[in-house]
Amino acid sequence: MDASQTEGAPQERRFKLPRWVSIVLAVAFFAGAIWIIRNELRQNSPEQILGAFQYIATSDVVAAIALVFVSYACLIGCERIALSIMGCSDLPLRRMWRPTFTAYALGNAIGFSYATVPAARARLYKDYLSGGQIAALSAITGATVMLAGSAVAGAGLLIAAEEIATRTVGTPLLWRLLGCVLVAPAIAWIITALNAQGGKMLFGMQVPKRRIAFAQVAMGMADWIAASAVLYILLPGHGDWSFPAFMTVFLAAGVLGSVSGTPAGIGVFEASILAFSPDTQHAPTMAAALIAYRLIWTMAPLVGAAVLLIYDVIRPALLRGARSP
């Protein structure tokens, strides 16, 4: 296309939030989170919070670590399903578990997963997938995570509507209606797969078979359930929530942390959990549990991802050294 063809062509303009606005919003969210945390813990000293770690049972820590493995195993399963939808099921597990684990560990720790996870995939999948395939993989897995998270939150609202209404605002009917709305996308996706025949296309991609679609949603939901159970086990008295209600609280806190713009939602996520929790008598142990959660869920996988990334960088040199006489 020459200059004469482009000179009069209308230019598409996309609205983009100025960077300074994003920074101001992130600072405002973080400042608000600090105020909430300070207000919740105003009657407790740092020494009391440190001393509260002794009340976290070793068995609970072991169970939380096991659930982290379960969550990442589900994420690897979701990635495997996405690759099969793309027609790349020939990629062996030994070559795709490492990019999956590293990408999600970085996304959970650094935040901005919509940018962090695809960037990590681009680095680690470069020898196996094209740029377009990596973009499609990120789109499918991202949609799976959102679809499954919405379904988990909706299921929690449907099961524990009365409990949530009693401890927050609104009526059980209102929360059940919201639960139906949140569960609807996952149900619609499965129904679409049930009715798909003859290679039906949706958004430029082939709709998977019903067995694969069901596994996709179930695996994504299992990931969210395991992730919320990590914190649920560590909280004293489970935060005085039933597990279905806590799943909704966990998802809500995660969404607030994501939109805050702070890395990994740090501060905002913790403030949301403290603010939502009806249990105000165990603030030091709740703070200790949240710190333990960050160490187990965020920091430990991040260390593992860093080791894998370092290995990916030095691997070519190691291979050359092994081949040299």
Higher pLDDT, 203 or 239: 239
Q: Residue 11's pLDDT is what?
A: 44
- Confidence class for position 18, pLDDT limits 50, 70, 90: low
Percentage with pLDDT > 70 across the chain: 73
Q: Max alpha carbon distance in the chain (Å)? A: 75
Contact by Cβ (8 Å): 140, 85: yes
* pLDDT for the residue 121: 82
Which of 16-30, 153-167, 245-259 has the highest average model confidence (pLDDT)?
A: 153-167
Decide if pLDDT at 253 tops 60: yes
Backbone angles phi, psi at 295, to 5 degrees: -70, -40
Could you tell me the pLDDT band of residue 275, with boundaries at 50, 70 and 90?
confident
User: What pLDDT, on a 0 to 100 scale, did the predictor assign at position 220?
Assistant: 94
Question: Mapped to the 3 state alphabet, what secondary structure does 203-245 carry?
Answer: CCEECCCHHHHHHHHHHHHHHHHHHHHHHHHHCHHHHHCCHHH
**Which amino acid type is present at position 148?**
A
Determine what percent of the chain falls in helix, strand and coil, rounding each to the nearest 5.
80, 0, 20
- In terms of C-beta distances under 8 Å and separation of at least 24 residues, what long-range contacts does 42-51 make, across chains too? 43/283, 44/283, 44/284, 44/287, 48/284, 49/284, 49/287, 49/288, 49/291, 50/288, 51/284
Q: pLDDT averaged over the chain? A: 79
Q: Name the pLDDT band for 293 (thresholds 50, 70, 90).
A: very high
* Residue 284 CB coordination number (10 Å): 21
The answer to whether the Cα torsion of 191, 194, 200, 204 is positive or negative is positive
3-state secondary structure 137-189: HHHHHHHHHHHHHHHHHHHHHHHCHHHHHHHCCCCHHHHHHHHHHHHHHHHHH
Q: Provide the pLDDT confidence category of residue 1 given band limits of 50, 70 and 90.
A: very low
The pTM score is: 0.80
**How far is Cα 75 from Cα 72, in angstroms, rounded to an integer?**
5
Residue range 83-117, pLDDT digits in tens: 888 888 788 888 888 888 988 888 888 765 566 77
pLDDT at 69: 95
Q: Which two tokens stand for residue 182?
A: 């949140």
- Answer yes or no: is pLDDT of 212 > 90: no
Instruction: Report how far apart, in Å, the C-alpha atoms of 138 and of each of 99, 120, 143, 144, 157 are.
Output: 12, 10, 8, 10, 29
Question: Which of these, 123, 150, 145, lies nearest to 79 by C-alpha position?
Answer: 145
3-class secondary-structure state, position 256: helix
> What is the 3-state secondary structure of 39-85?
HHCCCCCHHHHHHHHHHCCHHHHHHHHHHHHHHHHHHHHHHHHHHHH
* Residue 43 in tokens: 């009657």
